[in-house]
Structure formats: C-alpha cells, structure tokens
Structure 1
C-alpha cells in the first residue's frame, strides 16, 4: 500500500496538486489510510491545494469519459439523465474495469469491496449479513432502506444510459467509494445534492466529530485552488482529521460503515414510540402545525418537536373545524400558545415526563433484547454501540 500511496502522490503532483511536506499518508490499523503530521503543522496551513481541473466531479468526469463525443450527446445522455452520484459511480466503474486507466493511480488506493463489509447496504446487496439489518434501530433501518432504493435506482439508470451489462459487485464498490468519499463543492446551477467532488488523498482523512480542518476554494497567486486547511495546531505524529458533518452514529454506520465510541452528536430517536401515542386526529394537527415526526432526546434535553408532540399526545381533545366545544377550543388555544412560544408549556411537563419514562423503559427493554442476540465481530460491535447509547440516554429519562 505504501508504494501505491507514493505513486498516487507523484501522479497528483504531475497534475499540479500541491501536497505539503508537513503531512504524509499512511495505513492506520482498523481505519484504512490516514493522514499524519510528519512535522509540526500550524493552524492555517494549506496541506493540500488542488487546481479545480484536478478534482473529480461531474464536469471533469464527463470531460474524461466523453472527450471524443459531441457536446450534444454528453448534454442529453449525461446531464439530463444522470445525477452526480450516478455519473461519478459510473466513471469509477469505468476506470476500475479499463486497462491502463488515466486514473489508475487513484483507483488503486480506493477501498475494495471487502473494505465496505461493515456497511448495511453491502450486507443487503451481497446477502452477507441481511439478518443484522433487522436488528438495527428503526430510524437506522429506514436509512438503510433509502440507500437500497437509491442504489437500485442508480444501477438501473447507469445500465440504461451507459452499458447494459454491469458487474454488480464492481459497481457497488464504485458507488460506495463515491458515497463515502465525496466532498461538497458548489457547482454553478446544480442543486446541493449534486455538488459532489472527489479529491484524491484528501479522501484519506478519517472522521472526527469535532472539525480539525476546513475545505474551501481560495485564490492563491491569482489562481483558484481547492484547499484543505488546518484549523488547529498539530504535533509531529498526530493524525489529522476532517469532520464529515454533524452526524449521529446510525448515519455514520449506514453511510461509512463505522461508529464512534464517543460521539458528541449522539441522540435517541423516539419517533416510533411517540407516534404510537397519537391518534389520526392528533397526527393531522401536528402535520398542519409542522411538527409531525422526527422526535429526539439527548442526554441533556428533549427536542422542542418532542415537547410539542408529547403535549398533543396528552391532550384529551383536539378541536376539529366543526367543533364548538369550549373545552376543545381552550385546549387548542393553549397548545397553539405553547407551539408559538407565547406559553412555556409548564402545564404539560409533569405528564410528559411520565410518558417519557414509559418510553424510556421500553427503549431499554428493546435494547437489552437485541444486545443479547449479538456476537462479537465488528458488525455486532457497531450495532451494540447504537443500542448502548440508546440505553444510556433513555436511563436519564426514567422517573
């Protein structure tokens, strides 16, 4: 692997990419490849600088794939019919299956499919650990379902636009590389979900929930450069991290295949449990008010959405349009005063705490049942971590 990293660095330098002598990329146990400070690095150091054409995004991928085709063909078949994820996944698939690829130095250091064996989507596609998906918390399972749908849609589109015969496993590897290694870079005229860019070697940086570097487009000596810049000092030998975003462990597991032992964004989703407390009339009321679903707790507080939902859940009457009940009218007015911030909602807190306590007990019982079924491999450890943090939060709400 060291030889391949050296080859990648040389290839990038041939493309006018600046790699600071203060850093080096190296394999790290249990985390693939990481970036280490070879020498002390001060806050504000540009450790990677890319000319924009050296990045891999929809524009550069399209230019590379179709440099011998007409602009009209590219516009119709690629821009109009494929998303950035689909196009980039096909680009990597194409380079992975092409001899003497121009991008071979980059492709050679990308994760193998085996490196993604902790990702639930991969369990599903390869039918390797399908049983574990059923053990995931409800919100995490819903995330997996969305990823499965997206992957199936993407491979269908790529098959119809680019090639009829697709090796599913190779495409899955390419798709996961795009999904797990892309950075956000604003592309003029593109929606945010399509502003995807791969920056070779920057994608070696592992995740931290606390930002330690920033990315930006900066003008250096009159030229626009895509830069990775340190936001703190680093001592020699320290690993340099990049935050992938403010993500909970369930998200990290689905998108990247890992969880953090300590995650500052940890929360407990109780949407399913709260929804069970609501009849159709109350759900409709919350829908109208913009507070239906997405109910969470942290170690320190419950979200305002959760407070509102619990207040509605404990209300005996929700006023219908044709109701003339004074009790219903008063209750509705009290709820709307709370929702709008004109009331502190103190009248709801005692019963909300009782409801939360019952929910918390159920969360703990479910977690204990699942944890008892788990083994001790990496996949089981990640799932156990999801339930351990659920139990840890739930225990703070038992009265």
Structure 2
C-alpha cells in the first residue's frame, strides 16, 4: 500500500528535481512561465500545470521554452559536434572543439568520434535521440563523473513504471503479467501496438552495433564488462519517453514526417482532453533559435478561459481515439468523443464471395471499415450493399450518391443489425476475458476495459 508518508517523500524528491529543472531552464533569458500557473502533482489528476491565479485566455502564453533546451535532431547534432569535428552541418553544428582535449579528458570525444557525418544523417530522429540519451544519461555515468548538460531534463522523465500501460511494452519487454492482456486488445489497438513493436525492434537493430562499440570503450573501474543488452531496458524506457512526449516541429535535415519532432521540457507535463479544439495549442517561433535548435516552443491558450484556481491547464494532443491514446501515450479517457471501432476484419470475414470482394477492391472500397457513435461509415454501408445486392450497377449508383442505403432495405437493415449484434456479443465476451485475467496489472487491464466500454456505447447508439 502507498502510504501518505511515501507520497510526501516522493513529492519532496520530485519538487527538488523540478527546482533543478527550472534553475537549468532559467539559464536562458527566453524561458518563460506565466505567473498565473503552477506545476503540481496530485494523486487524483496527476502531474500537470494548474491555474493558480488570474485568468488564462485565448493566445495567452502559458510557457515558452528556448530552442537550446529542446531535444531534437538538430540540438543533438549540435551537442555531438562539440566532441566530433567531422559533424560539420552548415548552420547547425558548433565551432570546432578543442582538438588538444580529444581522447584525454571527456570520454565523449572518443565515443562520438567514431560516428561519421554520413552515419549520423542516415539515422532517424528516434534512432539518434535514443543513442544520444543512452550515452548522456546511462553510459556517461559509468565511465566518468561528468554530468550531461541535459541531466535536469533527464531527471524529470517519466519512470519506466509510469509508462507500463503502453501495450507495445508488454510485448517488447516480455511482460508475462500482461502477455495475455495484449492478446485481448481490440483489433485497432493490437494492430497499432504491433506496428510500434516492429519499429522499435528495427531501431534497436540499427543502433545496437554503435552501442556495442561504445561499451568496448568503457572502463567501469571495477573490471566488469558491459554489453548492449545491459541497456536494452534503458532503450525501451527512452524510446517510449520520446514517443509519448514528443511534439511536432519541422526538421530541415530530415524529409520523413516521423522525424519531425522535438522533446520540450516543462511542456511535456501538460495533459490532454478530448475537447482538443478548446484547449491550449503549441506555437513555434522560428526566428528565435538561440545558439542551436529550431526556434522557441510556446504553449498558448485556446478558446477555453481558465479562471478557477486549481483548474488543470490542458494541451491539445489531437483528435484521437482511446485506441490511439493508449498506444502512443499509455492512457485512455473515460469518455472520448473521438472513439470509433475498426470493424475491418469482421466485415471482411463476412464478405466471403470473391466476386463481391473483387468488386469492392476494384472500386477502392475494400477495408478500412469503421463505426462511431451514431454513425456507420459510408465505406461499410457500401460493403453491406454489395453483400446484399447482386446488381453491382445499383451499388455503383449508391457509391456515387444517386441512391441511399434505404434503397437496399430490408436486407441492408437486417444485415446491419445482425452485424452489430455479433459485435456486441464479441465485445461482451472480451470484457469478460479481461476481467478474468487476475494476473494482469489492474491499471493496464482497466484501460483495456475502458476501450471496450467505449465500443459498447457506440453499439448502443446504433442498435
């Protein structure tokens, strides 16, 4: 049981880390936090920014973080170039390091020195940041007493335990406790988790040889050898810190949308709400770049007016369903207006006539079938029309908007209701399966239950 004394001790420790973070950020004149907000941690609502006085209204600046204090492809390249003169990207890297100190003092001269400009550029943002943070946060402490510039930021990263509800981690870390729970995930959640698992495994394959070379350079002082596998759990922790905390910013050196992100201290404490259009949004000032980075990152107020003391300041993560939120951030919302059910496998198994399948594929109506509260997607209705009507010309007219779904009744209505009731039975069965998993982590299991309960609400709106 977590006692109040434990909580108070944890709070004191966290407050110390927060104070060090704010002192570190105050090293820049561009760091700003509104005097109307305060960063707090409550057992009920969690860590976040809260209104403490006055008002926060539209376009009010809540917090501004300078570019030099963000972690992204550009700032990492800049800091690495301080130890490797070969990383000379125009307009990004620092002045030439002091060559006389190479290999004689800071071990990073030697460790970053093995990387060529071409090798660094080939790495994705995820791969480069994972490598960099592993060295600066974990490896550096093994071979010297030098602290990373980023240590105050690293110290307030969410713990591995705080990220445990992300489904991909259940698979990647061989979490026996939640292994069965992973198999109980809805189709959309499981598919999403499996995509993340594949990306993580690929990234580890890419960066592992570099970590291996770094491990060979480390003198722990006690004769113990370290291997890349010793840092695999750290890699997973860091990967999902990045994935759950990154914010969009354009990275000129990279042309892949997945590379366009930055980690922003302080801003990553803001939590999400489904009414994303009402709450705070990010703003990048590209003209204020500092000595490195891509511009100051600010959070500004939305149309919602904060005026109640203790009201939590919320950030728009986007219009995301619970399936998405669970996989990317590790949480779900009790009610979420962006929820939908991906019923593609259910519909595709229902349509077993190859002529109907070929017709839908030829017209680009095969797959991607969804339902949401009060709404059956048009793609699904077209698939049902093709299932119940052998006259494909008539279905084509429906596709083009010349006919309504009522033109295919009563067969269409009968099939739709049958389909929804079959889904209802499946979801009820899955809820029972999740409730029966006594070994699963209670919080993780409850998140999965909330997703299924959201599905049930959608079905009730349609049946």
Tell me by how many angstroms 1:28 deviates. 2.7
Equivalenced residue count is 383
Task: Confirm or deny that 1:290 pairs with 2:364.
Answer: yes
Q: How far, CA to CA, are the matches of 2:205 and 2:44 in structure 1?
A: 33
Q: How far, CA to CA, are the matches of 1:156 and 1:218 in structure 2?
A: 36
Identify the residue that residue 402 of structure 2 maps to in structure 1.
342
Q: How far, CA to CA, are the matches of 1:196 and 1:350 in structure 2?
A: 51
Q: Are residues 220 and 239 of structure 1, via their aligned partners in 2, closer, same or farther at CA, if it must alter by over 3 Å?
A: farther
Tell me by how many angstroms 1:221 deviates. 9.0
The one of 153, 173, 176 aligned to 2:237: 173
Q: Are residues 30 and 125 of structure 1, via their aligned partners in 2, closer, same or farther at CA, if it must alter by over 3 Å?
A: farther
The one of 165, 176, 187 aligned to 2:251: 187
1:52–1:225 Cα contact (<8 Å) kept? yes
1:18–1:50 Cα contact (<8 Å) kept? yes
The one of 393, 401, 406 aligned to 1:333: 393
1:364–1:394 Cα contact (<8 Å) kept? yes
- 1:219-238: CA deviations, max 9, x gaps? 78999532110113212211
Q: How far, CA to CA, are the matches of 1:289 and 1:13 in structure 2?
A: 58
Q: Are residues 307 and 349 of structure 1, via their aligned partners in 2, closer, same or farther at CA, if it must alter by over 3 Å?
A: farther
Identify the residue that residue 59 of structure 1 maps to in structure 2.
74
Q: How far, CA to CA, are the matches of 1:221 and 1:141 in structure 2?
A: 41
Identify the residue that residue 14 of structure 1 maps to in structure 2.
27
The TM-score normalised by the length of structure 1 is 0.90
Q: Are residues 205 and 271 of structure 1, via their aligned partners in 2, closer, same or farther at CA, if it must alter by over 3 Å?
A: same
The one of 170, 185, 204 aligned to 1:123: 170
Identify the residue that residue 310 of structure 1 maps to in structure 2.
384
2:344–2:370 Cα contact (<8 Å) kept? yes
Give the RMSD, CA atoms, in angstroms.
Answer: 2.2
Tell me by how many angstroms 1:8 deviates. 0.7
Task: Confirm or deny that 1:218 pairs with 2:285.
Answer: yes
Tell me by how many angstroms 1:74 deviates. 4.7
1:57–1:198 Cα contact (<8 Å) kept? yes
Q: Are residues 156 and 32 of structure 1, via their aligned partners in 2, closer, same or farther at CA, if it must alter by over 3 Å?
A: farther
Task: Confirm or deny that 1:373 pairs with 2:433.
Answer: yes
Tell me by how many angstroms 1:162 deviates. 4.6
Tell me by how many angstroms 1:269 deviates. 2.0
2:67–2:288 Cα contact (<8 Å) kept? no
Q: Which runs of 5+ in 2 are unaligned?
A: 1-13, 89-114, 142-146, 214-227
Tell me by how many angstroms 1:30 deviates. 5.5
1:62–1:74 Cα contact (<8 Å) kept? no
Secondary structure (helix, strand or coil) at the match of 2:357 reads helix
Task: Confirm or deny that 1:86 pairs with 2:127.
Answer: yes
Identify the residue that residue 107 of structure 2 maps to in structure 1.
none
Identify the residue that residue 17 of structure 2 maps to in structure 1.
4
Task: Confirm or deny that 1:135 pairs with 2:163.
Answer: no
Task: Confirm or deny that 1:362 pairs with 2:422.
Answer: yes
Tell me by how many angstroms 1:198 deviates. 0.7
- 1:21-79: CA deviations, max 9, x gaps? 22221223255421112222331211112333332111111222342221265531121
Matches within 5 A, 1:208-247: 208-211=273-276, 212-218=279-285, 225-231=296-302, 232-235=304-307, 236-247=309-320
Moved over 6 A (4+): 219-223
Q: How far, CA to CA, are the matches of 1:338 and 1:347 in structure 2?
A: 9
Secondary structure (helix, strand or coil) at the match of 2:26 reads helix
Tell me by how many angstroms 1:169 deviates. 0.7
Q: How far, CA to CA, are the matches of 2:377 and 2:124 in structure 1?
A: 34
Secondary structure (helix, strand or coil) at the match of 2:62 reads strand
Q: How far, CA to CA, are the matches of 2:299 and 2:419 in structure 1?
A: 44
- 1:264-292: CA deviations, max 9, x gaps? 10112211111112233323322232222
